[in-house]
Every structure is written in structure tokens, then in C-alpha cells.
Chains A and B, each alone.
Chain A
Amino acid sequence: MTTEASATGQSASTTGRQRNRRSSGGVRGWFGRQPVLVRAVIIVAVVVGAYLLPYLGQVPVVGPQLITEGIDWPSALFNMSYYVLLALGLNVVVGFAGLLDLGYVGFFAVGAYTVALLTSPDSVLHTEWAWLAALPVAVAIAMLSGLILGWPTLRLRGDYLAIVTLGFAEIIRIFATSSETLRGDRGFANIPHPPGTLPDGKPIFGVADATPYFWLGLSVIILVILGVRNLDRSRVGRSWLAIREDEEAAEIMGVRTIKYKLWAFAIGAFIGGLGGVMFAGEQGFMNSGTFVLQFSILVLAGVVMGGSGNIAGAILGGALISYIPDRLRGITDPIFNTDLFGFRFAIFGLVIIAIMIFRPQGLIPSRRRAMELKDRAREVAPIE
């Protein structure tokens, strides 16, 4: 397709199409060249496949190898779903807008704690709302906390921003540990599950089987993907990218840098809060031990590993950071006779190092990010 045609032809999704056209190589290039119908069929197949994941164990030969042993597979899938959600949210902040946020778990905590406070009988508020009623309030408060964090840090970039966001997450964790209202490690019990009953009178979202939670998480993920993708392929995405590449030039070209940086924080916080709400609804119990710094770092590692700035990369990265440790559960190593889960961070670290050596731009890189990285490499070694 020529540029002329894309400018004057069916204008619907030209920006997206251009992007596809540009990425000529690899799977994505192939995908971009397929007719609309073929692409639609592939997308539907992938979505259906994702919804069928809880039955992976019944697939002959490969299925039993892939599912987790030490933790039931639907629960592992649900864990993956909220990690993916968090990776998608963090990808907006770090990948799109280029703002390094090390305290992302803070928003997850805000979402989860708001739900706990509003719904749990242990809460000082004694409101005991339904889970669904608490959801909008929780994500709104998470978003607000994103703005509160974003506002004073607008002038900061890179390392400085990272330190401040790190502090933010620690403040929330320490507050949760030591404040009477947030009950420290005693935590909140009896957080209600999402609503709905089956025809036989049993609740859809019970305690025995995590499959419905995974389906709920997957549905939320699909909505989030659609939203984030719409933003990325609009003036909002262009503004974020412009800010990431040259903030001053962007502002001189009329980009409201403050507004779009705040939006990036708010949207990231919204998605993180949503993850927290889902988490609280499935677990039924939570305490301050959940929101450790490791968690933020892990999600960031997932985003970078998958391919910062790319939605598919964030999904893959988020899924892997949850899947790898869960897969290690229940496997006994032959030397020390211990559960490999104990070595999860060591193994995980090796995996990350390997990926960063062999594929520094991430597993499914954003094309732009890959080029930025190449540029940086050239700056370091100008002889090339």
C-alpha cells in the first residue's frame, strides 16, 4: 500500500495499518500482511484458546508437562492473570511514557486495601459492601493516588523518579504494616467474592475452583488491552512517545507534557488498582505481607523481559513472572532434595540474565524500543 493510499483511502485505522506495514519482518510482519478476515480468525482463535487454558492439562503429551504441580492449575492461571494486568498497567507508565516507576505495587495495594476496608467485616468502617460495589471506588482511589504520586514527581526523570516511586510504595507498605486501621499482618478476612450464582444455587466464584476467577481476569485483561491499544494508536500514544523521545521538543510542538504524564500515571494506577481489586476478591484474605518491594521489581522485570513499550510483550512478560515460580513449585531437585520453589528467585534471576544477554530488547520488543536500544549501544561503542 502506498502512502498516498493510506492518507486518502479508508481512513479508519490507517495509523495502525502503517505500523503493521512498517514492521515487515517476523511474525508480526506476516500478521500485518494478512487480510482482515484472516487476522480476525486468528485473534478469535487466540482468545478462545486463552479461555480454554484451564483445560490445558487434558491436552495429550504436552499438556501435563506445562501445567503446574505444586499449585492447582486454575489458581496458577489466576495468578498469571493479575500479573499480566499489572504488567499491562506498568507498561503504560514505563513503556509508553518512559517514566521509570519502581513503586507500582503501591497502586495494587491501594486497590486491594480499599476493597478490604469497604467490604471486610474486620474493617473499622463496618460498611461491608459487596465486592462489585467496592470496585469502582477502589479503582477511583487508586487513580487518585496515581495523580498524587505523579504531581510532585513531574519534574523528575530516570533514576530520580525511580527513587521517589520506590519511596511511595514503601510508605504504603509501612503504613499498612504499622497502622491500626490497615491491621498490619493480621490483615482482613472474609473479603467477599465477586457476585453471581450458578443454576444449582452455588456461587460462581467459590473457594474450591479458581477457574471462574481466571475467566474474569482474562475478560478484564481483554478490555484493558483494547483500551490501552486505543490510547497507544491515537494522539495520546503519540504524545507519550514524543515525551519519551524529547520532552522539551514535544512541549515546544504543543504537547501538554504535564497533562499526558499525569494521565500515564493515572491510567497505570487505574490498571494496578484493578489488579488489586481482583486479587482481594479471589483471595478473600489479605495482609501487609502481600505488598513487598519484590512485587514491584518482579512486575518491572516482566515488562522489560517481555519487551517494554509493547502490549504483547507486557502480556508475555507478566505471564512468565508468575508462571515460572509456580511451575517450580512441587518439583524436588535431585541434589538437595528440596522444593525448587525455594530456588525460584535464583532460577528466575538466571532466566532474566539470559534473556537480557540474548535478547536485550525483550522477548517481543517494541520496534521503536529496539531501535532506541541499538542507538544507545552505538553511543557506548561509537566505533561500530
Chain B
Amino acid sequence: MTKVVVAMSGGVDSSVAAALLKQQGFEVVGMMLRLWSEPGKENSNRCCTPDAMLLARRVAARLEIPFYAIDAREIFHSTVVDYFLKGYALGNTPNPCLECNRIVRWNFLLEHALEIGADFLATGHYVRLANRSTTETGNNLHNQIQLLKAVDRGKDQSYVLHVMNQYQLGKALFPVGDYPKDEIRKIASQFGLPTASRPDSQDLCFLAGEDYRDFIKRMAPGSLKPGEIVNKEGRLLGRHLGLSFYTIGQRKGLGLSSTEPLYVLSKNIEENTILVGPEEELGRSELRVNNVNWITGKPRGEVFRAQVKVRYSAREAWAEVSHLENGGVLAWFDNPQRDITAGQAAVFYDGDIVLGGGIII
């Protein structure tokens, strides 16, 4: 029998993923990562509190599958939390979920799954997989696995999974990506799963529901250097509390008095200043990324057109994509885009197909 480890969180999506796989005849094993929590806040971590773990354990018992908790506190802290803090210290707005998927979930956990004899690792992510040879006939790229957006566009999580490579995709199953979220909730109650009515999780798991600024204040107070807020003309408009506390496009909380609303346009690390300006100056026509990953292992061409998503919640925009000498990629938008933020990912799509992505510099 084909054996699948399901990464369970106690949430409805991973619970239904396990239920569906069990129904499809797989030998299913539940695993849950014990992630790092700030000392003293173990009970409010978003996704691996003792409560969530108990819930996942009950789901597993209900489905009659074994369940194991794996200690990932150290690797999560040394990669994901560290990445988050370092990113902010550099003035970026990092997305630690990318690192979590790349290193913790699709490397550390995958390795554990394979070591207990599993053939696949499944998660409750809303994405789909396809083999290119079946989606585009006449193409010679056989056995190149494609990562596709979820059927439910509102829940699509392909943005955070653009970091996956062919090896990882070859071991991955995403059973819920074919269903709309409503359907998933229905399936959960049909299976009598205790998670059926739990709310969706939001925010970063290790922030314990708090503002990230408070977390940075406690964990990396040294990275907070107050400085000046200036406009394009170099005029001093106010003071900031540290670059980490602000993100591109931010309007609220700047403490400026001005006749028109002012937005964070950019951050200058060397001078420790924040440049603000009116809304119409927010847009940029180009972005550059490094740490590029192409889902098939190589880019679609020297220069090609793609839809680009610059934040998890941003809408895709058309751009021309070309390669830089340093291995990075340049995207030139048809229309200027707001909120292009260093540290976030830019993910390239061809319709439903995820081509790849990288980190905005």
C-alpha cells in the first residue's frame, strides 16, 4: 500500500487532506511539527499549541491513523525566525512562510516522512499539481511536474509554495487544492471531524497573535534605530522608531501631519531614513529578484511575458521577465505597481501555472 504522511495542524484543511487520502485508499500517517514559540508564549502559538495538537491527535484517532509529533523547534528557530529577524534588521519585509516551506516543511519534515517509509508527504495547502505532459500535449518536457493554482482562487496558496523543486513536488500531494473551501468544510463535517467549525488561521504562527513590532522589540531590540522621515525634496517631516516598523505603501502610524495622505515609498538603510510621498508616487514599473527558483528547474525562456504577484494578497500583473547577469531576474510591468517591497516574493505565473519566483531586492 502506498504510504502518505500528512502534515497535520489541527486545522480543517490538513484534517480533510488526511481524510480524503484515507478514503482514497492510502496508508495514512499524521505528523505534526512542534515549532518554536517564544518562551512563555507556548500556549498562544498560532498552529502548534497543546490545544491544536490535541485536536490533530483527535482527528487522527477519528480517522484511525497513527499520529506523531516531531520536534522542529531548533530548526524552525535557526532558519525561519532568524530569517524573519534578519530580514527586518536589513530593512526588508520578509515572508518567513517561504523559508518554512522551503526548509522546515519540504526538507526537514519530508525527510522524516521518507525515513518512516512514506512515499509521499501531503499538506492541506490549496494548490494543485499536474504533469506537464498531460496538460500541454506536444511538449517534450515530460515528467516535469507543474504547480498550479487552487480551484478556489480566494484560497490559493501557490505563492508560498513557489520555492519547491521537482524532487519535492515529486513527493508532494495536495488533496484539498481541487476543492473550494466551502466544500472542504462540508467534507470535514461529513467525516465528523472536530475541526469543521474552526476559524481559518491567519498571521505568522510564532507571533502568537501579536503585532510583529512587539515581537521585534523583544527579540531584536538592537535592530531598532530611530531616524528621520523625509520627502523627495529632503525635507524632514518626522521621526521613525526603526526601519523594521514600517513597510512599503504604509500610510497609518507614521505620525506625520500633512495636507495630503503620505505613504512610505522606500527605506534607505545606509542613512536610516524613510522616504514618504503621495499615493501617485507609490507605483514602480520594475522589480528585481534574487534567490530565484523555477518550478521546472529552468526558466521558460530568455525573455518572456508572465503575470507577476508581488505579495501574498496582491493581484497578478503582466510583466516582461528577463534575466540579470547575477542570476537574478528583472520584471518590467506593463503598468506601474504599488507595494513592491523588498523581502517579499515576486511569483511568476502563466495562467494557473506557477513558473517560479524569487525574493524582491
Partners in one complex: no
Chain B residues near A (Cβ < 8 Å)? none
Chain A residues near B (Cβ < 8 Å)? none
